[in-house]
Amino acid sequence: MKMAEKRNPALVELILVILFFALASMVLVQVFVKAHLLSRESRAQTLGLIAAEDLLEQWKELPTQPEQLFSSENGWEEEAAGGNVRTFRSGCNEEMQPVPLEQAVYELRAELWTEEKEAGALLHIRIQVTGLRDGKTQVDLETARYAAET
């Protein structure tokens, strides 16, 4: 009967060590998951910025003819006109390659508007890259170009 009441300290110590390693591994898994998510978000921002800057540079070539850049052949669709602003949308996958909006992970949105001035027009463009899953804007760039009257 005295054997049943005797406790083994090595067994208790082993259980505590296993518990410690289990807790430490849970923390490490959470750290790695968070690092992976941050890496994906950073990659999306970088690729989105490259795509948006590329669009801005292409637009600067022909700012008065956006139909050539934002055509349906290039995967863009124009939203219903609302006042002075023209809005074009396109979808992208995780690598920021064009895909149909139904399959897209990110949305590229281009808004164009014109301010008439005395000697010409100030043409504006705003490019946004937004995640369709979380609705978070990854990139938001805007620029303008002056076009003199001819």
Q: Which residue type is seen at 90?
A: S
* Each residue's pLDDT tens digit, 10-66: 888 999 999 999 999 999 999 999 999 999 889 999 999 999 999 999 999 888 888
* Each residue's pLDDT tens digit, 108-117: 999 999 998 8
Write out the DSSP string of 52-69: HHHHHHHHHHSTT-HHHH
* Each residue's pLDDT tens digit, 132-150: 989 999 999 999 998 887 6
* Each residue's pLDDT tens digit, 82-124: 788 999 999 999 999 999 989 999 999 999 999 988 888 999 9
Asked if 149 contacts 120 with a C-beta cutoff of 8 angstroms, the reply is yes
From CA 128, how far away is CA 110, in angstroms rounded?
A: 7
The vertex-86 CA angle with 82 and 90, nearest 5°, equals 115
Q: What local confidence, expressed as pLDDT, does residue 150 receive?
A: 63
